């Protein structure tokens, strides 16, 4: 079961209801900058993790400035679209509400029913705000454009942001992106080579490590480390390595199978 650290209490809580009811995810991004995109990326990761576990999800973008620009930047990073929360009335019978917000904007006042630091952060649906879960995302210090250029691989931006725990600030600069580009090239080349061999099931210990990573507070860096471990594990068949990377990419969204058929 996916458990998330609630930013207000510091305690782990279930990110999905036990009965697999609808989970509403609200992304609270302040505007179109790297920190806002990181909020949407974490929300996207949460959506993917819940869907992999069979939980229905309703994802909303709440109260952001420059919404059109923010949505365009998110699309460039492979973040799936969020619905617009404006004008929504009562909730659609969700059993859980999870808010993803920049650090410092997981508002205790909203949780206690006294209003928040800004009305745009008030949960849009019905139900009790005190039972909602808040995920805090640390800021990004960006020394590069918010979104990749047309001729650049957007997955490098995504990987650079995923490689750092979401609770820690991240520096997004050319060196960081170059490292991400090299990692992607190495992984994609290996995946293309492994795909030439017969498929093999993912060993249970490998699958377990991956699921433990993302079910423990949505730990993307730990999931990335599992890929490095599986890629170098000498007793793992190439067909199993391929299936491992393809399975993990359903969460990570790094387009790891992009170079299939192009390996030398």
Looking at residue 74, what is its pLDDT?
A: 92
Give the domain ranges of the chain: 3-137, 143-264
CB contact at 8 A, 135 and 7: yes
Looking at residue 124, what is its pLDDT?
A: 45
Tens of pLDDT, residues 17-64:
766 678 999 999 988 899 999 999 999 999 999 999 889 999 999 876
Looking at residue 130, what is its pLDDT?
A: 61
CB contact at 8 A, 192 and 259: yes
Tens of pLDDT, residues 163-222:
999 999 999 999 999 999 999 999 999 999 999 999 999 999 999 999 999 999 999 999
pLDDT at 121 over 50: no
CA distance 181 to 241: 20
Tens of pLDDT, residues 69-108:
899 999 999 999 999 876 554 455 667 899 999 997 765 4
Q: Please choose, from the candidates 164, 100, 87, 160, the residue with its C-alpha nearest in 3D space to the C-alpha of residue 136.
A: 100
Looking at residue 108, what is its pLDDT?
A: 47
Specify the pTM.
0.88
Q: Name beta bridge partners: 142.
A: 172
pLDDT at 1 over 90: no
Tens of pLDDT, residues 233-250:
999 999 999 999 999 999
Looking at residue 141, what is its pLDDT?
A: 95
Residues sharing a CB contact under 8 Å with residue 38, sequence separation 6 or more, in sequence order: 137, 138, 139, 140, 161, 166, 170
CA distance 264 to 192: 9
CA distance 40 to 62: 11
Looking at residue 16, what is its pLDDT?
A: 80
pLDDT at 117 over 60: no
């Amino acid at each position: 079961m996916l458990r998330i650290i609630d930013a207000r209490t510091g305690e782990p809580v279930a990110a999905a209801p036990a009965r697999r009811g609808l989970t509403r995810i609200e992304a609270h991004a302040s505007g179109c900058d790297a920190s806002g995109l990181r909020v949407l990326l974490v929300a996207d990761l949460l959506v993917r993790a819940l869907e992999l576990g069979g939980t229905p999800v309703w994802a909303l973008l709440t109260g952001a400035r420059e919404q059109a620009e923010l949505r365009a930047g998110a699309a460039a990073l492979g973040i799936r679209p969020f619905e617009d929360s404006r004008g929504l009335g009562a909730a659609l019978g969700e059993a859980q509400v999870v808010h993803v917000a920049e650090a410092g904007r997981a508002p205790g006042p909203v949780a206690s029913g006294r209003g928040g630091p800004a009305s745009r952060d008030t949960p849009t649906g019905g139900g009790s705000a005190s039972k909602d879960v808040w995920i805090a995302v640390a800021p990004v210090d960006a020394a590069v454009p918010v979104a990749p250029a047309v001729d650049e691989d957007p997955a490098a931006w995504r990987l650079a942001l995923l490689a750092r725990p979401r609770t820690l600030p991240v520096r997004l600069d050319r060196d960081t992106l170059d490292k991400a580009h090299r990692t992607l090239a190495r992984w994609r080349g290996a995946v293309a080579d492994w795909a030439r061999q017969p498929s093999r099931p993912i060993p249970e210990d490998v699958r377990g490590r991956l699921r433990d990573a993302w079910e423990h507070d949505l730990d993307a860096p730990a999931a990335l480390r599992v890929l490095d471990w599986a890629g170098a594990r000498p007793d793992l068949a190439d067909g199993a390595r391929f299936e491992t990377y393809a399975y993990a990419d359903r969460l990570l969204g790094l387009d790891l199978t992009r170079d299939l058929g192009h390996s030398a």
